[in-house]
Structure 1
């Protein structure tokens, strides 16, 4: 067994290993979707690593690299081991092999998300020094079950496409900081696939949403705190769903502690599909 970076590995080789490792996973990605996921999450092949049996990838970790809260971070965009190679601790060995290279590159922390019901993975991450930083809900409702009625907004407004990078007020709308894959940096890495919508009154932005129509992903939605419970969020939500190209949507990584988001989604007849842990290890 040899360990090395993915810098000289083709995407086709990586995708084949990904398919085999996640063959029994509840959600399947095709090649285009897999590449889009890696791009959005900041995949860096030089700082991603795998175990090779001869020249075959048998266990791998794809890392995204970037800043998060101003800290240089490595983000686990996908760790997998081929079924016939499981039980040998290969994923842990790949991770341990990667640490000196990440430190040398100036990375200060390692960040990941893991499904809470994947208790085996959670246990392994805790053993190698990861600590839970946040808990997230994720949602995958069918369009047919969502209540999309919009009450009348009781003041003049316009709704129009926006460039999220041109509105410094956006972070002040947040009740929680977006996760890595929903961050502004992640959206900007794949900006061609996203649509930003803004609601304005008197030329002032009072609410916005970011979504990816091709995947059904509602990435961010937030309203200025002084304009809440006036129908602005519902208006944005309705327009994002109208532009969606699938029969379902996905809302990933909303902070469990965010009562405002939980109540908003419940009002739309959207209940959590499951939970994730966000976990961090200092390097």
Structure 2
């Protein structure tokens, strides 16, 4: 008999979830030190966690392993998204992730067709575990971070207008998009975090020709696009500068840029971003 209790997580587990999250990711290549307020906001807002689809492993009533999940439409299919998997030191090597996914799969198959996640490419141990569970690699993402001080662009302010946008204008924004985002940045998922997102548009003659959506508190760019016929005219640079200023001149981040999006990668590098880490997107058929 297992020494661990495997059960769905509950809202009143949030404090334990936070403590275990910090402990599990204490040695992670990318800093994950969120205070409780930000962690709760991330779980209930950005992730919109489904507690009934999220499982924990408990030892002596302490949460020592977890998988956090959300549910939404993604690329035309109802999908479950893994927003965090972790096992705290001292309990690794006990196949807890496999046990958590076994419990999850028994419940998830009636609610979605697949489960997706991202994992940093250098995390070979996690990749091996996911592959043993049944996940397969289906996409490759680059993640960028701004590493320079931005200066005002030379964009002609008389010709282009920078203005506030909103989620209600997503249909206009989607007409400008040239690539699909990862699960957490789709408009369907973004809606759960809209209160914490800033929407900025660039307009010409009253027409929206570019937009950027970002989280000012963290400096994370969620989405952006520029009209294909008006690229290389400084619009994207001006939008990034606006995000930079409104975020308090933080080192902006742009994560999960599809590897095939060479034009976006080139733009980010030209502005002053650096490709810091890469991620695999992996998928499990339920």
Report the TM range for the smaller structure's normalisation.
Answer: over 0.9
Equivalent residue for 1:117, pick from 116, 122, 128: 122
Q: Which moved more, 1:12-21 or 1:116-125?
A: 12-21
Unaligned runs of 5+ in 2: none
Q: CA deviation at 1:251?
A: 1.1
Structure 1 SS opposite 2:242: helix
Q: CA deviation at 1:37?
A: 2.0
Q: How does 1:63-82 map to 2 (within 5 A)?
A: 63-82=69-88
Residue 224 of structure 1 corresponds to which residue in structure 2?
Answer: 227
Q: When the two structures are aligned, how many residues end up with a matched partner? A: 280
Relative to the length of structure 1, the TM-score reads 0.93
Residues 14 and 234 from structure 1, CA distance in 2 versus in 1: closer, same or farther, beyond 3 angstroms?
same
Residue 54 of structure 2 corresponds to which residue in structure 1?
Answer: 48
**Is 2:104 the counterpart of 1:98?**
yes
Equivalent residue for 1:19, pick from 16, 19, 22: 22
Deviation per CA, 1:123-179, whole angstroms, max 9, x where unpaired? 11122221212111112233xx14545233497221100113224132232221111
Residues 202 and 72 from structure 1, CA distance in 2 versus in 1: closer, same or farther, beyond 3 angstroms?
same
Contact kept in structure 1, 2:143 and 2:253, CA below 8 Å: yes
Instruction: Tell me the distance in 2 between the aligned counterparts of 1:225 and 1:111.
Output: 30
Instruction: Tell me the distance in 2 between the aligned counterparts of 1:282 and 1:220.
Output: 27
Instruction: Tell me the distance in 1 between the aligned counterparts of 2:170 and 2:58.
Output: 46
Structure 2 SS opposite 1:84: coil
Structure 1 SS opposite 2:275: coil
Contact kept in structure 2, 1:61 and 1:80, CA below 8 Å: yes
Residue 30 of structure 1 corresponds to which residue in structure 2?
Answer: 35
CA RMSD in angstroms comes to 1.7
